[in-house]
Amino acid sequence: MKKITVFGGGTGTYVVLSGLKKYLLDLGVVVTMMDSGGSTGRLRDQLKVLPPGDLRQCLLALSEASLLWRKLFLYRFEKGDLAGHNFGNIFLSALEKNCKNYQEVLKTAAFILKIKGEVLPVTFEQVEIGVMYENGKILWGEKNIDTNYQEKSRIVDVFIKPKNAKTNKLAEKRILDSDVLIIAPGDLYSSVIPIFQFQGIKKAIKKSKAKILYVMNLMTKSGQTSNYKASDHIFDLEKYLERKIDMIVLNNKSIPQEVINWYQKEGEKPVVDDLKNFNFSAKIIKGDVLDTRFYGKDKNEKFVDKRVRSLLRHDPNKLAKILLKNI
């Protein structure tokens, strides 16, 4: 059975995991633990717990529990003191306050949600991320970086605080034992790259014999990857990985114009495939991995966050089939 380990934590990671869990694989995920926005940020600040949001997403992606449990973990309160909070986030935070360690938290949640796979936080410490822009500006906090939409200057460096934060040893071991490492699509500088700033993760990846596969983002991200082409994503990832990427999956299905128009209003656009202009050693895999649904188009959908993100997504089933053909 192939051992596949995914890196990430947001919507893109959810898509990769939910597609792959349908197959006979030893599946796991190393989860970013730097989220500081929304319900997660409030719980982190007020209760001094580890950020639960990305863990919740990954647990749900791997869950084979009843629909009711999955709906509960997705449920957001709309009114009162809990408005904006997610039940799953509160549940994980409550577990943390009642368990002897975070391993027990994850074991309990995994039992309830009947997950198929292994969910591993990159660290059990409270960690903050920071970035430096080309103009010399330094910005701290995942929430601040993620919402710095108007920034035109490129990000040139990423840091974590504390600098020597301890890596989850189980995550290091899993990387060393894996056959394939998949970097999920997601916000490059607030979700993906910070994982590779942990020295334990970096060393394990460099030592690992596993192939590295990257699922290319569909759209650019204002303030993080504005005007980025496919090559920019690869150059930046390989800089922090300190290893070459072996395979790159790109969507070649046309994106509906109404979706492009919506993103243009946000200063974002489809990632242009320019990889043929560079001498990348990676195998380039192209295919239709586009989800045809436009998330947020339905006016009856309710969003707690004022700014709706990830309207366009990879299709979990299409993506899983392409991944399985190449790993």
In three-state form (DSSP H/G/I as H, E/B as E, the rest C), the secondary structure along the chain is: CCEEEEEECCHHHHHHHHHHCCCCCEEEEEECCCCCCHHHHHHHHHHCCCCCHHHHHHHHHCECCCHHHHHHHHCECCCHHHCCCEHHHHHHHHHHHHCCCHHHHHHHHHHHHCECCEEEECCCCCCEEEEEECCCCEEECHHHHHCCCCCCCCEEEEEEECCCCCCCHHHHHHHHHCCEEEECCCCHHHHHHHHHHCHHHHHHHHHCCCEEEEECCCECCCCCCCCCCHHHHHHHHHHHHCCCCCEEEEECCCCCHHHHHHHHHCCCCECCCCHHHCCCCCEEEEECCECCCCCCCCCCCCCCCCCCCCCCCECHHHHHHHHHHHC
Has residue 305 got a pLDDT over 90?
no
What per-residue confidence (pLDDT) applies to 301? Answer: 43
Q: How many whole angstroms from its chain centre is CA 98?
A: 27
What per-residue confidence (pLDDT) applies to 292? Answer: 86
**For a pLDDT cut of 90, what percent of the chain falls above it?**
88
Could you tell me the pLDDT band of residue 310, with boundaries at 50, 70 and 90? Answer: low
Choice among 233-237, 267-271, 296-300, 320-324 with the minimum mean pLDDT: 296-300
In contact, 4 and 20? CB cutoff 8 Å: yes
Has residue 302 got a pLDDT over 50?
no
pTM: 0.94
CATH number for position 262: 3.40.50.10680
Angle at 306 between CA 305 and CA 307, to 5 degrees: 90
Q: pLDDT of 13-28, one tens digit each?
A: 999 999 999 999 999 9
Could you tell me the pLDDT band of residue 306, with boundaries at 50, 70 and 90? Answer: very low
What is the spatial distance between Cα 32 and Cα 240, in angstroms, rounded to a whole number? 15
What per-residue confidence (pLDDT) applies to 131? Answer: 97
In contact, 295 and 314? CB cutoff 8 Å: no
What is the identity of the amino acid at 240? Y
What per-residue confidence (pLDDT) applies to 297? Answer: 55
What is the spatial distance between Cα 77 and Cα 83, in angstroms, rounded to a whole number? 5
Could you tell me the pLDDT band of residue 130, with boundaries at 50, 70 and 90? Answer: very high
Q: pLDDT of 164-222, one tens digit each?
A: 999 999 999 999 999 999 999 999 999 999 999 999 999 999 999 999 999 999 999 99
Q: Which residue has the higher pLDDT, 203 or 294?
A: 203
What per-residue confidence (pLDDT) applies to 296? Answer: 62
Average pLDDT, the chain: 93
Q: pLDDT of 57-78, one tens digit each?
A: 999 999 999 899 889 998 999 9
What per-residue confidence (pLDDT) applies to 172? Answer: 98
Domain total for the chain? 1
Other beta carbons less than 10 A from residue 94's beta carbon: 15
Domain ranges, residue 303: 3-326
Q: pLDDT of 278-293, one tens digit each?
A: 999 999 999 999 998 8
**For a pLDDT cut of 70, what percent of the chain falls above it?**
95
